[in-house]
């Protein structure tokens, strides 16, 4: 299995692949509507989200990945609070602590978690405003891609493809 550096690199590659895909597949209209292609902050968020979710499965154990993940979550949470998004900050904090409540390589390394764990990215904005849905869907895709990169590098998607330390 890859170490935290491998998973960060995997998340970065997943973010690049996802961003390029957003410009060539039919969902580019979604990306345009979400102003992803015009806004460098939205594009940067795609990379941050992909890297966070590339680290997420390993935050259930004391590791460098856990340290990096929680520092990034802390910064994002502070920015959410600063901008008045208190409910989003609360959901982020709640979801971020879930892996610590279980054992390592448990549910966080399950294939279903790759789809289910990022779902609040879409569901929470949907509860509050449909205007946020296009960018939420874009960010959800980035999260799934980052999570996928982690499972791929750990050999859980394709057993022949496994990065070792």
List, for residues 66-82, the tens digit of each pLDDT value.
888 889 889 989 998 99
Average pLDDT over residues 138-148: 92
pTM of the complete model: 0.80
pLDDT at residue 84 is higher than 80: yes
Give me the residue spans of the domains in the chain: 4-153
C-alpha to C-alpha distance for 12 and 110, rounded to whole angstroms:
21
Chain length of the chain: 165
Average pLDDT over residues 6-28: 79
What does residue 89 show for φ and ψ, rounded to 5 degrees?
A: -65, -40
Query: Which residue would you say has higher pLDDT here, 95 or 82?
Result: 82
pLDDT at residue 32 is higher than 80: no
What does residue 159 show for φ and ψ, rounded to 5 degrees?
A: -60, -30
- For residue 39, the model assigns a pLDDT of 67
C-alpha to C-alpha distance for 45 and 21, rounded to whole angstroms:
16
Residue 100, token pair as written in the block: 């610590």
């Amino acid at each position: 299995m890859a170490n935290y550096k491998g998973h960060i690199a995997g998340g970065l590659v997943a973010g690049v692949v996802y961003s390029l895909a957003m410009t060539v597949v039919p969902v580019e209209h979604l990306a345009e509507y979400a102003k992803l292609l015009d806004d460098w902050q939205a594009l940067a968020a795609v990379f941050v989200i992909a890297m966070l979710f590339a680290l997420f499965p390993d935050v259930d154990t004391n590791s460098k990945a856990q340290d990096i993940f929680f520092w990034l979550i802390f910064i994002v949470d502070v920015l959410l609070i600063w901008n008045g998004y208190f409910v989003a900050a609360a959901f982020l904090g709640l979801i971020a602590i879930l892996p610590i409540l279980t054992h390592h390589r448990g549910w966080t390394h399950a294939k279903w978690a790759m789809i289910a764990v990022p779902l609040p990215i879409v569901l929470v904005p949907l509860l509050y405003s449909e205007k946020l849905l296009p960018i939420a869907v874009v960010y959800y895709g980035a999260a799934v891609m980052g999570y996928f990169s982690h499972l791929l590098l750990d050999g859980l998607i394709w057993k022949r493809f496994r990065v070792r330390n």
